[in-house]
Amino acid sequence: MSISYTTDEVFGITRNLPLNYVEREAVDQKLQKELRAKHHIVIYGSSKQGKTSVRKHCLTDDSYILVQCSNKSDMADLHANILKRAGFEITQSSKRSSSGKHKVIASVKTGVKGAIFGIGGSAEASGGAEGETGTTEEIITAPLEIDIDDVNDVIAALKSINFDKLIVLEDFHYLPYETQKDFSIELKAFHEFSTITFIVVGVWLEDNRLIVYNGDLTGRVISVNADHWSNAELQSVITDGGVLLGVTFEDSFSSQLIGLARESVYVVQEGCRRACLAANINETQQSPTAIGAGLDVDALVKSIVDQQSARYDSFLTNFADGFQDTDLQMYRWLLYTILSTPVEKLESGLRYRDIKTILSEKHPRKADLNAGNIIQALQSSASLQVKKNIMPIIIDYDQSSKNLHVVDKGFLIWLQHQDLSELLSDIGVP
């Protein structure tokens, strides 16, 4: 008896690895190769491009701990989250560190493997590096009292339990800018004084973001670009999904969908799902069925991105307001440069010099506009979106190449179907 799947299981958004997952040599194989070499890895790309699926496909569940990053986290919060997921319980100490903050007590949860002075064992209650005694038969440990801000204490704590898993930092772009920079500096210490390997996952299109923050990471951190999908790979997504459902998609449908999707694997998946449902295909067919002929693919794709209209409208109005009301209104005018640029050019990024040229012609201050104001606004574009709860983010600035990128491919498709004058009016730009 053949296995039957529902259309939503194959082409719909799922918490699990997609059934029609397609391996990409430049992504999956590169990630596995660099993991074997013990390199720290950054997986980056636009939203909904399969970054999380790559991690799930290439890593076994028991090989890593997952830390979900937050826009409210500083380094102490990040350290605490890492230790908690590694097996520690964190409580506040009455003692203070040199910075004046309270130290924390890190106790090992029952059953977590530990090593005391080279003697391996299982910590029955708690574990640490201070006040430890032990024999080859029994280990009695006292909790670690550590400065949660000190990376050296965090490394020592992880070493005390022989921690040997990967640490995945998911949605790294949500962290405050300063926390991202601080972590990039600490990553060198993790690299040099431990065998711990990090996998950083973030929404941006910059190949060497962590290296921009800390040049010492050159050669220590390898980037994996999960953003790019070739036409052949997207065709495999369609074909493999069709096999699972016992259907074939008409060539004209597939080629149009891939062309209009602008490399968005999400749009391709959702387009196939809707095409199946339109043909009343809700589960695996017992006999081969061809679908997609005669469908208005452009209208289909438009309906997919129109689901995000409210979010995109909210992004425009909230981003335009900036952090606070100022005379320059830089964020409002940054949006003007994006909205007035053809979508085809936005795909490859909007260069700083082009932004400066546009603003020197259109901004009320014109050529008198300070370059520092432009750069500051560009560098703060991601943090502004996080502050305004625009998640996932839609635009991001690459400091190394000085390019402003749209990191939501659906937004590019959505822009094609909008009236520019109406959008500019909505954000208050004449």
If residue 224 lies in a helix (H) or strand (E), which one and from where to where? strand 221-225
**60-112 pLDDT, tens digit each:** 999 999 999 998 899 999 999 999 999 999 887 656 666 667 678 888 875 55
Q: Is 362 exposed, middle or buried (0-12, 13-18, 19+ CB in 10 A)?
A: middle
**pLDDT of res. 1:** 44
Question: Phi and psi (nearest 5°) for 387?
Answer: -60, -35
Residue 350 bridge partners (DSSP): 404
| pLDDT class of 177 with cuts at 50, 70, 90 | confident
What CA–CA distance (Å, rounded) separates 209 from 401?
10
**343-383 pLDDT, tens digit each:** 999 999 999 999 999 999 999 998 889 999 999 999 999 99
Q: What is the mean pLDDT of the chain?
A: 89
* pLDDT surpassing 80 at residue 45: yes
Q: Domain segments of the chain: what residues?
A: 25-84+161-228, 88-150, 232-306, 313-426
- CA 148, 154, 155: angle at the middle one, nearest 5? 165
Q: How do strand 350-351 and strand 395-398 relate by DSSP bridges?
A: unpaired
* pLDDT surpassing 50 at residue 125: no
Please answer whether residues 122 and 98 qualify as being in contact, where contact means their C-beta atoms are separated by less than 8 angstroms.
no
Calculate mean pLDDT across residues 376-402.
Answer: 93
Asked if omega into 392 is within 30° of 0 (cis), the reply is yes
Calculate mean pLDDT across residues 309-319.
Answer: 96
Calculate mean pLDDT across residues 156-165.
Answer: 95
Q: Is 94 exposed, middle or buried (0-12, 13-18, 19+ CB in 10 A)?
A: exposed
What CA–CA distance (Å, rounded) separates 426 from 179?
34
End-to-end CA separation in angstroms for the chain = 65
If residue 244 lies in a helix (H) or strand (E), which one and from where to where? helix 231-245
**207-228 pLDDT, tens digit each:** 889 999 999 999 999 999 999 9
What CA–CA distance (Å, rounded) separates 226 from 201?
10
* pLDDT surpassing 80 at residue 113: no
Q: Between residues 25 and 106, which one has the greater pLDDT?
A: 25
What CA–CA distance (Å, rounded) separates 87 from 162?
11
Q: What is the CATH number of domain 25-84+161-228?
A: 3.40.50.300
- Which DSSP state fits 101? P
**Tokens in use for 152?**
């050296």
Q: What percent of the chain has pLDDT over 90?
A: 80
Calculate mean pLDDT across residues 390-396.
Answer: 93
- Which DSSP state fits 263? T
**pLDDT of res. 95:** 65
**2-16 pLDDT, tens digit each:** 789 999 999 988 888
**243-283 pLDDT, tens digit each:** 999 999 999 999 999 999 999 999 999 999 999 999 999 99
* pLDDT surpassing 50 at residue 127: no
* pLDDT surpassing 90 at residue 141: no
Q: Between residues 121 and 71, which one has the greater pLDDT?
A: 71
Which 3 state secondary structure label does DSSP give 73? coil
What CA–CA distance (Å, rounded) separates 91 from 141?
16
**pLDDT of res. 135:** 37
pTM: 0.87
